[in-house]
Amino acid sequence: MPGQKPIKVALLGCGTVGTEVVRLLTDHAADLTARVGAPVELAGIAVRRPNKHREVPAELLTTDAQALVSSPDVDVVVEVIGGIEPTRTLLLQALRAGKSVVTANKALLAEHSGELFEAADGTGADLYFEAAVAGAIPLIRPLRESLAGDRITRVMGIVNGTTNFILSGMDSTGASYGETLEEATRLGYAEADPTADVDGFDAASKAAILASLAFHTRVTAADVHREGIAQVSAADIAAAKGLGRTVKLLAICERVTENGSESVSVRVHPAMIPRTHPLAGVNGAFNAVFVEADAAGEMMFYGKGAGGAPTASAVLGDLVAVARNRVVSGRGPRESAYAALPVRPMGQTPTRYHISLDVADRPGVLSQVAAVFAEHDVSIAAVRQEGRVDDASLVIVTHAATDAALRSTVDKIGGLPVVREVVSVMRVEGEES
């Protein structure tokens, strides 16, 4: 091994994750050499402002990412910059030159994975991305490899820590979305511009990546139905609590079989789940993902979904894998998109709704409301009506119906004269339909 030619690594970006990658590469150098079968050495670190990175060796820093990536010395490119450009161009260049790529860039993968995989395929280079989804939790490798002999039917998880922190907070304090977001920002759990998290963009990118792997189909962020948490009200949370449920932002990837033909539904939206569901207990910044497969049954993966060290752990695991592949002249799994299943529009996706209404407390109200459900062919699973001084609370949980039918039902009910207010509308997941 001391005689073995070192594997040279170009690191693109040196923020929270990059700094941890450098630290782990340095601290665990002897271990990594033994595990890879050759030394793993940094060839350079591309950053925008070298004088801001006093914690890494100055001689490795460069502002010329393009030159670093093109260097014939470099075997592997590790990318932790994020964003689409110039990252996309740099990684395509690396892959086309036969360099392996390890990336944590969910947004890039969710939009351009096809192009990146094709470039990798052209030269036989590896493209690994365990850190792109659910931080340190091994999830990509299990989906891409461990379950490669099975038929995955469903992947459902909490994959965004910021929104989970906010929803956990709203659940425990009863506070509004706005107040809780403010608190999360103050504590550093939400960014100054929280859009990517709270509007579900981050979770949608991850859902696209998970669906692509689970269903051997190229799914991009644009294919994902996306709803954020800004509309979740204290009333929604209270309604969930009253039913023994809690609200989570879920990324859901499902295989839907209808009349013998298969499609996939990929979506991100808040949903009520029973408090007894294993995902209900996942609080704060933790992530957890449920996977269901025909032969394997139900599995759950749980751990830290973000942060410098956990993300760097996932990056290093991939780096060891691609470096090992270099040493033995092997290669890891390629893109597997042969199934090319159609993506089902949200309107045609079967879901279940929980609807909470303020209605007039007089005879015939329930029959009027129930008639609207019947008219839309939506079957009711549970009803709870409670009288108050001069109105009543009516809570309805449906069986599964298409999302379009459920939406039309809610619209029409909202217009009924006997309905004073639609207090809360929320999808229901994690229980038998």
Give ∠ CA 332-334-336 in degrees, rounded to 5: 140
Q: DSSP for 208-243?
A: HHHHHHHHTS---GGGSEE--STT--HHHHHHHHHT
Using the minimum distance from each CB to a second copy, give the nearer residue, 34 or 382: 34
Four-residue CA torsion sign, 366, 371, 372, 377: positive
| Per-residue DSSP letter, 213 | H
- Residue 206: active-site member: yes
User: Please, where are the H alpha helices in 328-402?
Assistant: 365-375
Q: Is 316 in the site for a second copy (CB under 8 A)?
A: yes
| Per-residue DSSP letter, 146 | I
| Per-residue DSSP letter, 118 | H
106 is an annotated ligand-binding site residue: yes
Among 5, 57, 83, 145, binds a second copy (CB under 8 A): 145
Using the minimum distance from each CB to a second copy, give the nearer residue, 178 or 330: 330
Give how many residues touch a second copy by CB under 8 A.
59
Q: Which of 82, 96, 117, 73 is nearest to 12 (CA)?
A: 82
Query: If residue 19 lies in a helix (H) or strand (E), which one and from where to where?
Result: helix 16-27
13 is an annotated ligand-binding site residue: yes
228 is an annotated ligand-binding site residue: no
15 is an annotated ligand-binding site residue: yes
Which of 206, 241, 304, 412 does the annotation list as catalytic?
206
Among 271, 314, 394, 419, binds a second copy (CB under 8 A): 314
Using the minimum distance from each CB to a second copy, give the nearer residue, 34 or 235: 34
Q: Provide the minimum distance between the beta carbon of 171 and a second copy in the complex, in angstroms, as a whole number.
A: 17
Q: Is 319 in the site for a second copy (CB under 8 A)?
A: yes
Neighbours of 75 (CB within 10 A): 22
Q: Is 244 in the site for a second copy (CB under 8 A)?
A: no
* Torsion angle (degrees, nearest 10) of CA 144, 345, 268, 213: 0
Rounded Cα–Cα distance for residues 119 and 101 (Å): 11
Binding mask 280-309 for a second copy (x = CB under 8 A): -x-----------xxxxxxxxxxxx----x
Three-class DSSP category at 196: helix
Known binding-site residue numbers for NADPH: 106
Q: Active-site residue numbers?
A: 206
Known binding-site residue numbers for NADP(+): 12-19
Q: Give the binding site for a second copy (CB under 8 A).
A: 20, 24, 28, 31-32, 34-35, 124, 130, 136-138, 141-142, 145-151, 216, 278, 281, 293-304, 309-310, 312-321, 324-325, 328-333, 336, 338-339
